[in-house]
Amino acid sequence: MNKRYLKWLNEDTLDEEILSALKSMSEEEIEDAFYKDLSFGTGGMRGIVGAGTNRMNIYTVRKAAYGYAKFLLEKYDHAASRGVVIAHDNRNKSSDFARECVSVLASFGIKCYLYDALRPTPQLSYSVRSLKAAGGIMVTASHNPPKYNGVKFYDDTGCQLVPDMADRVIEHFNSVTDIFSIEKIAIEDARSNNLVETLSKTMDDAYIRKVQSIQLNSELEKRIKVVFTPLHGASRDIGMRTLVESDYETHAVEEQMRVDPDFTTVESPNPENESAFELAKKVGRKQDADILIATDPDGDRLGVMAKHKGDYVFLTGNQTGAIFIHYLLSEREKRGTLPDDGIVYNTIVTSEFGAAIAKHYGMRVESTLTGFKFIGEKLLDLETTDTEFVMGYEESYGYVISDFVRDKDSIQALLMISEIANALAHENRTLIDYLESLYERFGHYRDHLMNIVLEGQQGEKMISQIMSHFRAYEPDKLLGRRLLVKEDYYHQSRLVEGSREDLNGYPVSNVLKFIFEDDMWFVLRPSGTEPKLKIYMNVLGKTKSDGEAVLEELKKIINSEIDSLQKEKGVKT
């Protein structure tokens, strides 16, 4: 029998709900719940809610909060009095986990600013900056399935912890020898000692006004109808208020305005999937709406569908990002306010489409590793330069336009995409018309994300074997295009035209990128927060059909390599 399991089972102070769950576990469930500790990934700590060291529960949350509290007190002067902002989404146990964080931080004398109900992640980031707090905690599992929850930790700039900071939290996290002995105090006692302050409407109002400041054509008559769904999540009130108070005729998907931790109206609460828009499309057709907008459960990602020729067309994150970049820069060009030294940040898995547009307008483009914290870190570096921030985005539907938020911000994004659609309506054009004109002008880029889900201990092992296989994979050509560069971010090395060199300027990360002639590349990256391997692809075709054909061939080649390896290992996905 697993020793960790027995220790939990025999703990006298164990929570009754956790004890009941332990007693009902099978041997296989015990092994998966206790074979390791939850680890920190690109978005903090995330896992399945349940009993065990490899699960999200009050004990693992307390352990994470303990590590974070120790880090804050070491990192910042006056961290206790500056305090920590804490918010949560709609998931199972989110409000409980938020309160557990308060109880642990308060035991260290750290003041907590606790939101009174659901709030989106970008508002958490804004609040940290606005209150000059020492940090922030967002309780969320983003767009993961309902069985997941998690916590994201922020520094005093409102940016998620970058690796060197997260490593220090992890050191303290790992120093806990008895997870059941972590000190905490009741929230009622923390309140009586002035260690808890509730945040509510005043901060909401300030955040919405700040979001509205990004508009370029706010006075333009509103001619569009917008459908909005938060997919049951944290942007429910803030997203709706932002649109309505900016004078857009907005229709909510009422079934998905409910706080539903099981997401019963949607197959997956992820606006990266077109299937998440099924109810929004029904409302859109009924209201004859021009655009459909969906945000994920913690309100940092935005998905968009646009009406075009009588139907709704789904936009990818790369396409939406390219639309944003062109609109922002072309509008500033009209006004004569293009920056002399402007920069757009994206990631190493973001399509070259938006970068081509930014460079056309004379902007610099810099790519970070995946994870918006790396873009947030760059924004801190900009503070001591004359370079002007234009926009930051990633293919996974995350955008930030103004850096009063140092994380991706669906509220900024939903307001800007509405403005663009409205401006186009005045020209009798749609977002799809606009997108097609960008392809014709800047190139027929196509991209694809392949997700290979491999759960549990065996799945983790298979992902490792796939990465090892591709570390040894060095084709001279694919689809007639020469391999120019192979980048290994784990071993910090680059293969350039057959010669090895160091890969500088990036943290160590288990990522591989293969770059070929004519803007074709693919990237392999195990997710830091989900049991899956992500494979990103980008191609540039001579025409739309050529780009799509090249992309399909690239998919076949990569799938063939992985299928052969899985057959060899006897693994099914």
Residue range(s) of every CATH 3.30.310.50 domain in the chain: 446-569
Q: Is 174 exposed, middle or buried (0-12, 13-18, 19+ CB in 10 A)?
A: exposed
With H, G, I as helix, E, B as strand and everything else as coil, classify residue 393.
strand
Cβ atoms of residues 351 and 383 within 8 Å: no
Q: Which helix (H) or strand (E) segment is 188 a member of?
A: helix 187-192
pLDDT of residue 43: 59
Nearest CA-CA partner of 420 in 407, 406, 434, 410: 434
CA distances from 524 to 130, 272, 527, 538 (A): 37, 19, 10, 12
Tell me the average pLDDT across 153-179: 94
Q: What is the sign of the dihedral through the CA atoms of 163, 485, 349 and 470?
A: negative
Q: Is the pLDDT of residue 440 over 80?
A: yes
With H, G, I as helix, E, B as strand and everything else as coil, classify residue 395.
coil
Cβ atoms of residues 170 and 63 within 8 Å: no
- Kindly report, residue by residue over 311-361, the tens digit of the pLDDT: 999 999 999 999 999 999 999 999 999 999 999 999 999 999 999 999 999
Q: How many CB atoms lie within 10 A of CB 344?
A: 26
Q: Is the pLDDT of residue 573 over 60?
A: no
Tell me the average pLDDT across 399-428: 98
Kindly indicate the confidence band of residue 387, based on its pLDDT and cuts at 50, 70 and 90.
Answer: very high
* 382 token code pair: 């900009």
- Kindly report, residue by residue over 218-269, the tens digit of the pLDDT: 999 999 999 999 999 999 999 999 999 999 999 999 999 999 999 999 999 9
Cβ atoms of residues 417 and 246 within 8 Å: no
Cβ atoms of residues 69 and 109 within 8 Å: no
Q: Is the pLDDT of residue 164 over 70?
A: yes
What is the model's pTM?
0.94
- Kindly report, residue by residue over 52-61, the tens digit of the pLDDT: 999 999 999 9
- The class of domain 223-313 in CATH terms is alpha beta
pLDDT of residue 296: 97
With H, G, I as helix, E, B as strand and everything else as coil, classify residue 511.
coil
* 549 token code pair: 């054909």
Nearest-5° Cα angle at 139, 59 to 371? 115
* 39 is annotated as an active-site residue: no
- Kindly report, residue by residue over 447-495, the tens digit of the pLDDT: 999 999 988 888 889 999 999 999 999 999 999 999 999 999 999 999 9
Identify the residue whose tokens are 């576990």. Answer: 25
Domain 36-203 has CATH 3.40.50.150: no
Q: How many CB atoms lie within 10 A of CB 180?
A: 15
- Kindly report, residue by residue over 136-150, the tens digit of the pLDDT: 999 999 988 999 999
Give me the catalytic one of 125, 127, 142, 418.
142
pLDDT of residue 498: 83
Cβ atoms of residues 268 and 303 within 8 Å: no
Radius of gyration of the chain from its Cα atoms, rounded to whole angstroms? 24
Identify the residue whose tokens are 């402007």. Answer: 342
Cβ atoms of residues 394 and 374 within 8 Å: no
Domain 318-442 has CATH 3.40.120.10: yes
Tell me the average pLDDT across 511-517: 97
- Where b means 16+ CB within 10 Å and e means fewer, 275-299 reads ebbebbbebbeeeebbbbbbbbbbb
Q: What is the mean pLDDT of the chain?
A: 95
Cβ atoms of residues 446 and 539 within 8 Å: yes
Residue range(s) of every CATH 3.40.120.10 domain in the chain: 36-203, 223-313, 318-442
Distance CA 121, CA 137 (A): 9
Q: Which helix (H) or strand (E) segment is 462 a member of?
A: helix 456-471
CATH architecture of 446-569: 2-Layer Sandwich (3.30)
pLDDT of residue 530: 75
Distance CA 366, CA 347 (A): 8
Tell me the average pLDDT across 74-80: 97
pLDDT of residue 528: 72
pLDDT of residue 37: 87
Share of the chain above pLDDT 70, in %: 98
DSSP assignment string, 308-355 = ETTEEEEPPHHHHHHHHHHHHHHHHHHHT---SSEEEEEETTS-HHHH
